[in-house]
Amino acid sequence: MKTWAAVSWILQHGSAKFRTIGTEDSPGTAIFSLTGNVKNAGLIEVAMGTTLREVIYGIGGGISKDRAFKAVQTGGPSGGCLPAQFLDTPVDYKTLSELGSIMGSGGMVVIDDTTCIVDFSKFFLQFTQQESCGKCVPCREGTLRMLEILERITTGKGKMSDIDDLLLLAETVGSTSLCGLGTTAPNPVVSTLRYFRDEYIQHISNRYCSAGSCVGMFELVIDHNKCNNCSRCQRGCSFDAISGSRDEGFLILTESCEGCRVCLETCPQNAIEVFPVK
């Protein structure tokens, strides 16, 4: 569709003019579905070579609730995940693939610091694993086993060898699958392991999810310096896990907290912080 749109434009205006847009290797425009934790989400078209920062902070208007940018996944479920250090990277075919991601289907999912990177790659892998036709061994068997490892890690049952096994499986599935679905399926896992390995290790060795996402692997604590005693957290909690009052301030009761994160998301002051389980 995108190609046909470009064809008609090129026929009207000529290829020379088309080449003035974009970069030398990737002329023309790119279309993305910008979504995730950004203020403005939607379909966008930019010239090739526009930087990620321009897209996310310019067109996207920055991160929702002005939280910290964590990563952006480009190219859909088969794509890769890029951390903040590449925000100034120009978006084109060559650069993205050098960094371990792709233009792919034009997905651009932005996440902030409350998204767990392991959970995030599990989300994409779940999609490809379900879409596998089941014909070839690496895709049929390998994606499931990778998913099971990620599941283990996000539930606090991971072991250090899991990372090696994940990489081994990713490499096998990626290089031996029969079709494109299988060969790109490990990309989210590979790219997150490349840029966020520490977060995986934290999950495994400390049973700690710093994003406050993996249930049972974090504690939520209210930073009283930021809290303005608005009581939204208490009103939103379904588990009666927040005690206190607007007068005396609030306290999260770890033993009652189910980790649903409603308080974290509703707090207007970003006053709720994530800590390892004591």
Q: Which stretch binds another protein (CB under 8 A): 12-20, 51-59, 94-102, 143-151?
A: 143-151
What's the gap between Cα 79 and its chain centre?
11
131 binds another protein (CB under 8 A): yes
Minimum distance of another protein from residue 138's CB (angstroms) = 6
What residue type is 111 in one-letter code?
Answer: I
Instruction: Report the candidate in 14, 52, 12, 16 with the shortest Cα–Cα distance to residue 34.
Output: 52
Return the residue of 51, 64, 172, 231 that touches another protein, per CB under 8 A: 172
Cβ proximity to another protein, 146 vs 241, nearer residue: 146
| Ramachandran region, residue 209 (left: φ > 0; alpha: ψ -120 to 50; beta: rest) | beta
236-256 burial, b at 16+ Cβ within 10 Å, e below that, comes to ebeeebbebeeeeebebeeee
136 binds another protein (CB under 8 A): yes
160 binds another protein (CB under 8 A): no
Minimum distance of another protein from residue 44's CB (angstroms) = 33
Minimum distance of another protein from residue 161's CB (angstroms) = 8
Return the residue of 31, 41, 137, 262 that touches another protein, per CB under 8 A: 137
Q: Which stretch binds another protein (CB under 8 A): 13-21, 162-170, 203-211, 242-250?
A: 162-170
21 binds another protein (CB under 8 A): no
Sign of CA dihedral 87, 88, 94, 99: negative
CA distances from 176 to 75, 139, 179 (A): 21, 9, 9
154 binds another protein (CB under 8 A): no
61-96 burial, b at 16+ Cβ within 10 Å, e below that, comes to ebbbeeeebbbbbbbbbbbbbbbeebbebbbbeebb
129 binds another protein (CB under 8 A): yes
**Pattern of binders to another protein over 86-125, x per CB under 8 A?**
----------------------------------------
Q: Compute how many residues bind another protein; rule: CB under 8 A.
A: 25
Interaction site with another protein (CB under 8 A): 129-138, 140-142, 144-145, 148, 165, 168-169, 171-172, 175-178
